[in-house]
Chain A
């Protein structure tokens, strides 16, 4: 991380496809849990270096499963990538462990902001640097950089994480991941259960991290409107398949996306009921 380079952020060229130099390439993966439950059926996606890519979809679509396949956390849940391949930074990840992935520069921030509740906020952050060997002063510096992005965490540094608010826990989880100085973050539903203004605050920080630290981000979200506002490109996942993809702007303006993921409709609300082929989403807006 480098605060010095925070000055003028250049306006980036809009992404028109997810080609470009990929830091992550997921090719046609199939994932099976417990040897029988087929959850992903041929998912492919690319994350170009330095971009924010959104993975959208409703409950049970397979977003978390996709992220866990990428971070190799899947194995500990008795899941297995049975077909296809995942390449991170030019290396296949089949034989790697979560520990290797963090060492290679990828950290997953899991769904439900899993902080260490009995550790203080600062201890949570320090634990995030577990894979690095830092001197006392380097650790101080790394913490200060996280506090620079998350000033709220500085105020709460000595509180037990379990007693902080939902937003603060989400910030702790993201800040903790940043302590490993990752090249790429996998964020699983950072907006979950948070008030809109907290969601906005967190997404602004995520965008900052992306632009100033150059961290590539793959973002799984049900909150389509927020995700598309901050992402460059999006994929829509339904029942374990990518059903649509495109630049974030184009997706946000797409008629079907508007209707079924953003809860807006030009023809009026009635149209949902006539389209049984789309499952209703629990949370749209």
Chain B
């Protein structure tokens, strides 16, 4: 019984962390689908967003004002990226665009540190990192309130994005653009508008992810590497599949925590750092298009 409870505890903790991975991976998918750009700068955007948020608060702007201000800033960064980095490179190869986003990552990292300094900050969202009392009392499972709130916020974002994709007019436009730029343009879908929207949305996703992770681990440069956590999620879920990366995020989150607890001791611990990549490699061998990744439709 105690074993089962412990298992559940680890599983829930893993799933909650997994939703966060899903969220970050969705930022990638959004941009990749709409413009075939692998956005290397996603991690830098996370860092830039949350550091700016903390910076605004340090200037004396209260929490609830700093949030919309940072959202506006990230929308602006997204639109500026589309305008200054991607638009001039229209029709270039995917490799060229990837290089451009690597450049963008350095610019954002540099700018964030230039504007706000390099020291590690604390971000207090006012959510206690203590076990949920009633859950602990009734079932004996210890799950942090903070993890639950973070998981719920991330889940809400993920659901909102999934609905944006599948149910709205803009979402249809986005899927059309993802399917073929020229065809989308020929029926009057304004590509630039869609791209701006996608980058602005990715900016907001970056802010939310940065706040949740920053509050837990400190607002620091290491957030840049958070984006690397999204890579196995993308490989497992498929680069173009919204439901795929949501589920893959959960799988990665749960499996890395379970692996750490149950297999870790045999390897001397620390395997959650690399076990997702092992999983990703296994997927690459047996299901390279990912869980739900669309196979290319070749029939013409």
Which residues of A are at the interface with B, using a C-beta cutoff of 8 A? 71, 73, 76-78, 97-99, 101-103, 107-110, 112, 114-119, 123, 126-128, 130-131, 160, 162-163, 166, 169, 176-177, 179-180
Contacts and interface: CB of A to CB of B under 8 A. Distances in A.
B185 A116 contact: no
Interface size class of B (residues with CB under 8 A): 20 to 34
A123 B294 CA distance: 17
B190 A123 contact: no
A78 B91 contact: yes
A264 B255 CA distance: 71
Interface of B: 90-91, 169, 172-173, 175-176, 178-190, 294, 297, 299-300
B183 A115 contact: yes
Contacts of B300: 112, 166, 169
Contact of A76 (B90, B169, B175): B90
A114 B190 contact: no
Most A CB contacts (10 A, CB to CB) among B175, B178, B185, B294 go to: B185
B17 to A, nearest CB: 31
Given A114-B182, A117-B179, A76 B188 contact: no
B279 to A, nearest CB: 27
Given A76-B91, A118-B297, A119-B176, A110 B188 contact: no
Contact of B297 (A97, A130, A162): A162
A112 B299 CA distance: 12
A163 B91 contact: no
A110 B189 contact: no
A162 B188 CA distance: 21
Nearest 4 Cβ contacts at the A-B interface: A102-B188, A162-B297, A114-B183, A116-B179
B188 A116 contact: no
B299 A101 contact: no
Contacts of B184: 116, 127
Given A117-B297, A119-B175, A119-B176, A130 B186 contact: no
Given A98-B188, A107-B188, A162-B297, 6 more contacts: A97-B190, A99-B188, A108-B186, A115-B183, A119-B176, A130-B187
Given A118-B297, A127-B172, A162-B297, A76 B182 contact: yes
B173 A98 contact: no
Most A CB contacts (10 A, CB to CB) among B175, B181, B185, B187 go to: B187
Contacts, number: 88
Contacts of A180: 187-188
B187 A101 contact: no
Contact of A131 (B172, B180, B181, B188): B188
B175 to A, nearest CB: 6
Nearest to A166: B300
B180 A116 contact: yes
A73 B179 contact: no
Contact of B299 (A123, A128, A130, A163): A163
Most A CB contacts (10 A, CB to CB) among B90, B183, B189, B300 go to: B183
Contact of A130 (B91, B178, B188): B188
A108 B183 CA distance: 9
A97 B192 CA distance: 11
Contacts of B179: 116-119
A257 to B, nearest CB: 30
A211 B272 CA distance: 68
A110 B182 contact: yes
A77 B189 CA distance: 17
B300 to A, nearest CB: 7
A10 B109 CA distance: 69
B183 A130 contact: no
30 contacts: A73-B185, A73-B186, A76-B181, A76-B182, A99-B189, A102-B188, A107-B186, A107-B188, A109-B186, A114-B182, A114-B183, A114-B186, A116-B183, A117-B297, A118-B178, A119-B172, A119-B175, A119-B179, A127-B173, A127-B187, A127-B189, A128-B187, A130-B172, A130-B173, A130-B187, A163-B299, A166-B300, A177-B186, A180-B187, A180-B188
Contacts of A101: 188
